[in-house]
């Protein structure tokens, strides 16, 4: 897919799916705005990609940071075509009876409110431009309760509903909202899950996880007209038919 001339803002771009998405979209010709709390890591990735990449040290849990990120995309590249709300945390992994309330709330601030902040900042610019794509990272945990993951499951369930609400409100204005449930991915998050020893996901072997470039390539495909029949839905990479459509099999 050719993304030449398009601008993509990616949150949580310092590692894992976000970093791979930066590489994949840039390779397709897009300008990429890479955002993460780890300013040094996104700066290194932007340097690797080249002049079509901009790095921003920012925190999605603060609306002002997302507002500034969208403005940076507009100032630097003239528009914003795609927002990928990827930033997320798995911690705290803990029983509800023992979870630290502050850490639990911080997970909601990043995983759910952070996605809202991105949408809220991006939608007015996309409306003015006549449309765009807003893609969120979902999870099987959005639909299935897991021991020790109350914050993660709740925030991902909220994100799935938030994406559905966005589709309901903005599809008529040309904004394409979709979620991607990638399954388990070989990233740092899976190392944290493994170390916890809690629930069946922590027992998976590393070879069970898909590489992070698979969801990155799926996100690129979701920006194409080939995915238009899936607007407003959640796409799962566990679905073999979807993998075939994306070109992963």
Q: What DSSP letter does each residue of 164-189 carry, written as one string?
A: HHHHHHHGGGTEEEEEEE--SBSSHH
Q: Is the pLDDT confidence value at 196 over 80?
A: yes
Task: Determine contact, residues 201/184, Cβ cutoff 8 Å.
Answer: yes
**Angle at the Cα of 190 (from 166 to 162), degrees rounded to 5?**
10
| Confidence bin at 23 (pLDDT 50/70/90) | very high
DSSP 8-state code for residue 210:
B
First and final CA of the chain: distance in angstroms? 17
Structure tokens of 121? 């900042």
- Give 241's contacts (C-beta < 8 A, 6+ positions apart): none
The crossing angle, in degrees rounded to 10, of helices 16-27 and 39-49 is 20
Mean pLDDT, residues 84-109 taken together? 96
Which comes out higher in pLDDT, residue 42 or 192?
A: 42
Catalytic choice (25, 77, 116, 152):
152
Q: Is the pLDDT confidence value at 208 over 80?
A: no
pLDDT tens digits, 72-81: 999 999 999 9
Task: Determine contact, residues 10/33, Cβ cutoff 8 Å.
Answer: yes
What does each C-alpha distance from 237 to 8, 40, 71, 185 come to in angstroms?
22, 31, 32, 10
In degrees and rounded to multiples of 5, residue 181 shows phi and psi of: -100, 105
Structure tokens of 44? 């290194």
Mean pLDDT, residues 186-204 taken together? 85
Q: Is the pLDDT confidence value at 210 over 90?
A: no
The predicted structure's pLDDT at residue 232: 97
**Has 63 been annotated as catalytic?**
no
Task: Determine contact, residues 156/210, Cβ cutoff 8 Å.
Answer: no
pLDDT tens digits, 24-40: 999 999 999 999 999 99
The predicted structure's pLDDT at residue 51: 95
Q: Is the pLDDT confidence value at 205 over 90?
A: no
Least confident of 3-7, 13-17, 38-42, 180-184: 180-184
Mean pLDDT of the chain: 95
Judged by DSSP in three states, 152 sits in helix
Q: What is the pTM of this model?
A: 0.94
At the top level of CATH, the class of 7-184+212-246 is alpha beta
Task: Looking at the chain, list the stretches that DSSP marks H as alpha helix, in order from N- to C-terminal side.
Answer: 16-27, 39-49, 63-77, 101-108, 114-129, 150-170, 188-196, 213-222, 240-246
Mean pLDDT, residues 200-221 taken together? 88
In degrees and rounded to multiples of 5, residue 135 shows phi and psi of: -115, 135
């Amino acid at each position: 897919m050719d993304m030449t001339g398009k601008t993509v803002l990616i949150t949580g771009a310092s590692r894992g799916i976000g970093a791979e998405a930066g590489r994949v979209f840039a390779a397709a010709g897009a300008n990429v705005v890479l955002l993460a709390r780890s300013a040094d890591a996104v700066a290194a990735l932007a340097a690797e990609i080249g002049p079509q990449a901009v790095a921003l040290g920012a925190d999605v849990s603060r609306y002002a940071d997302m507002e500034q990120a969208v403005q940076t995309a507009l100032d630097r590249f003239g528009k914003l075509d795609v927002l990928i709300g990827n930033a997320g945390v798995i911690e705290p992994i803990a029983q509800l009876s023992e979870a630290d309330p502050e850490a639990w709330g911080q997970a909601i601030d990043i995983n759910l409110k952070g996605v809202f902040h991105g949408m809220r900042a991006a939608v007015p610019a996309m409306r003015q431009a006549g449309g765009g794509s807003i893609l969120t990272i979902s999870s099987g945990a959005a639909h299935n309760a897991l021991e020790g993951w109350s914050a993660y499951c709740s925030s991902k369930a909220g994100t799935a509903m938030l994406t559905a609400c966005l589709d309901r409100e903005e599809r008529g204005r040309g904004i394409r909202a979709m979620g991607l449930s990638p399954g388990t991915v070989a990233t740092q998050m899976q190392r944290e899950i493994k170390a916890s020893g809690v629930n069946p996901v922590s027992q998976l072997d590393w070879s069970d996880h898909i590489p992070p470039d698979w969801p990155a390539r799926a996100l690129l495909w979701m920006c194409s007209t080939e995915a238009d029949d899936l607007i407003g839905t959640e796409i799962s990479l566990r679905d073999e038919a979807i993998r075939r459509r994306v070109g992963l099999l």
